Amino acid sequence: MTKFALVFAFLTSICSWAQDGSAAIKHAAPVLAEDLTIPDDGIRVSVLGYHDLAENLPETAMRIHTSKFRKQMETIRQLGIKVITHAEFTAWKKGELQIPNKAMMITFDDGWKSVYTDAYPVLKELGFPFTIFLYKNYVDGGGKALTTPMIQEMAANGCTIGSHSVDHPYPLTVKSFRKKGTEIYDAYLRKEIGESKQFLESKFSCKVTSYAYPGGFFTEEMFKLGVEFGYSEMFTVVPGKIKRTLPNEMLPRYIVLGNYDKVFEMAINFRESTNGPDLAAGSTPGSIQTTPFPVTPEAGAIINTRLPEISADLSTIENLNPATLSMKVAGFGEVPATFSEETKKFSWLVNRRLRQSSCQVAVTWKDATGKAIETPLRWSFQIDRESAYFPDGE
């Protein structure tokens, strides 16, 4: 298998793990709905995710050369990208803090010792804050794992601690527990999501408010428990930039691969960012597309995911007959969109990656008397194929 094929297989696998939980999003609308009370400021935050580092071992999807890591960090500084703390990210997400147009978080998963020996000196030199997502059973876990003193030193010098479960279960393990029934699965998740948080807070005398799904795999039940245990953010491995109104239970990250530099290049590309709230998020200057009702992605927007939720807010329509609603998406035909009686939002989560550079959507309906609307709701948006992470040859 070629190097490209190996890289593509990895990219496909991590995203398919996350996609296994995509059906949960529809049924978890009350938890995952965008917070429309906090206006989108047009800012997009890029979150980097790393694992292991080494200079004298071959680079892999999970291991990056220390010299390349340093070069990437220096590139961030040279581009003027602001590296923010987890606390600043949370405050911005809540609408309590303004941040620069180009902002980034740096994170590490698992708790490899090389974070302390290789990454930490670089980050400390450049003054970059960072977050480590630790899983309980790997803390003081042996020769390649971070030790308690290492973690304590980093925590005193710009490092935030996040949770990464108790024993980092793979998707097949999680699925096997889910098949055993609601009670067993609930107890299992409470251990992985809750016990890990309690352990880290007790051991390091800190508040743990973020969680990274192991392998990026998630299910609906995890969203609710995350809220219950007090996590303010839960991160996936699905690439993309974060806007202020994006649901906190499913935040994207760019997992930087040692053997595929394109991921880092996409992460530092901020073509979606705007210079302020006057320009609609993701829109191109001079765009003349408008819609009579709020839609997502916005008309004329340029998005960086091929699996968006497409929706229309129909809350201002009188005498709407929901049973007559129809959504058609170019390349898919009529799709199984659902209507929320609570929010009056008609939405569909794309379940197969959009392959074209643009996407057209049409929504139609009838009123209570059976009269069809005169003009369908139509709009289109663009997909930034590079920022969408996947090679064109997929």
Strands 295-296 and 302-303, bridge-based pairing: unpaired
Same domain (yes/no): 133, 20: yes
Do 223 and 76 have their domain in common? yes
Parallel, antiparallel or unpaired: strands 338-339 and 345-349: antiparallel
With cut-offs at 50, 70 and 90, classify the pLDDT of residue 352.
confident
Task: Evaluate whether residue 390 is within a structural domain.
Answer: no
Domains held by the chain: number: 2
Q: Is residue 191 part of a domain?
A: yes
* 291-297 own/partner pairs: CB under 8 Å, 24+ apart: 291/377, 291/378, 291/379, 292/377, 293/317, 293/377, 295/361, 295/377, 295/379, 297/381
Q: 275-310, pLDDT tens digit by residue?
A: 333 333 333 333 345 688 889 988 877 787 888 999
- Domain-located, residue 394: no
Domain presence at residue 388: no
- Asked whether residue 384 carries a pLDDT value surpassing 70, the answer given is no
Q: Are residues 33 and 93 part of one domain?
A: yes
- Other CB atoms within 10 A of residue 243 CB: 18
Residue 273: inside a domain, yes or no?
A: no
Flag whether pLDDT at 107 surpasses 80.
yes
Instruction: Please state the pTM of the whole predicted model.
Output: 0.66
In sequence order, the β-bridge partners of residue 335 are: 327
pLDDT at 330: 86
Q: Percent of the chain at pLDDT above 90?
A: 61
**Of 110, 92, 37, nearest in space to 251 by CA:** 92
Q: Higher-confidence residue: 130 or 32?
A: 130
* Same domain assignment for residues 205 and 251: yes
Show the domain range for 145. 3-267
Q: Which of 86-90, 136-140, 353-357, 369-373 has the lowest mean pLDDT?
A: 353-357
Answer yes or no: do 33 and 151 share one domain.
yes
Q: How many angstroms separate the CA atoms of 381 and 289, rounded?
A: 10
State whether 313 and 230 are in the same domain.
Answer: no
**Domain end position, chosen among 230, 248, 267:** 267
Q: Rounded to an integer, what distance in angstroms lies between the CA atom of residue 209 and that of residue 229? A: 9
- Domain harbouring 91, CATH code: 3.20.20.370
- Same-domain pairing of 243 and 326: no
Long-range residue pairs from 56-65, CB within 8 A, at least 24 positions apart, any chain: 59/258, 59/259, 60/258, 60/259, 61/7, 61/10, 61/257, 61/258, 61/259, 61/260, 62/257, 62/258, 63/258, 64/256, 64/257, 64/258, 65/258
